[in-house]
């Protein structure tokens, strides 16, 4: 039973739960950004560039072998355009996360400055000290 108890303590620690929540939210956030890129940004880029679609760019190593309508051997290719699309997605996701973290850090309350310790009582000025010394010498 000791192993189960150790696992339970590990699994419910704050850090593990925070990480699990972060992974779930990160996955959902990734879907949102992927949709933003593929459904909004890339069509706009395609409209500006005359229908450019990165995901269709590929280097065919071997053509598909067909017998009529049946594919005997599928096409073998490097889809480097899709790789560029994924890099573009990553850059946008990273920038979006940067903006979110920057906003969160801005919203965090700045720690209130600690109240200053009361100033030490001011000592006598030089003139007061000299006056006191003069008066003491007169009284001798």
- Answer whether residue 16 shows pLDDT above 80: no
Structure confidence at residue 137 (pLDDT): 87
- For the stretch 107-117, pLDDT in tens is 887 767 777 77
Neighbours of 38 (CB within 10 A): 14
How much is the average pLDDT of 96-116?
A: 79
Q: What average pLDDT does the structure give for the chain?
A: 82
Res. 1 pLDDT band, cuts 50 70 90: low
Give the C-alpha distances (Å, rounded to integers) separating 88 from 81, 92, 93, 121.
11, 6, 9, 65
Closest-CA residue to 95 (of 42, 36, 14): 36
């Amino acid at each position: 039973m000791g192993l189960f108890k150790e696992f339970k303590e590990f699994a419910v620690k704050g850090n593990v739960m925070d990480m699990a929540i972060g992974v779930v939210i990160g996955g959902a956030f990734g879907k949102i950004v992927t949709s933003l890129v593929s459904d909004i940004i890339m069509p706009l880029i395609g409209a500006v560039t005359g229908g450019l679609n990165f995901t269709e760019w590929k280097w065919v190593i071997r053509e598909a072998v067909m017998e009529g309508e049946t594919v005997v051997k599928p096409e073998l290719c490097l889809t480097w355009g899709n790789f560029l699309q994924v890099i573009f997605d990553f850059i946008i996701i990273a920038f979006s996360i940067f903006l979110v973290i920057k906003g969160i850090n801005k919203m965090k309350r700045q720690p209130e400055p600690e109240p200053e310790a009361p100033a030490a009582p001011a000592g006598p000025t030089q003139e007061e000290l000299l006056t006191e010394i003069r008066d003491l010498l007169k009284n001798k």
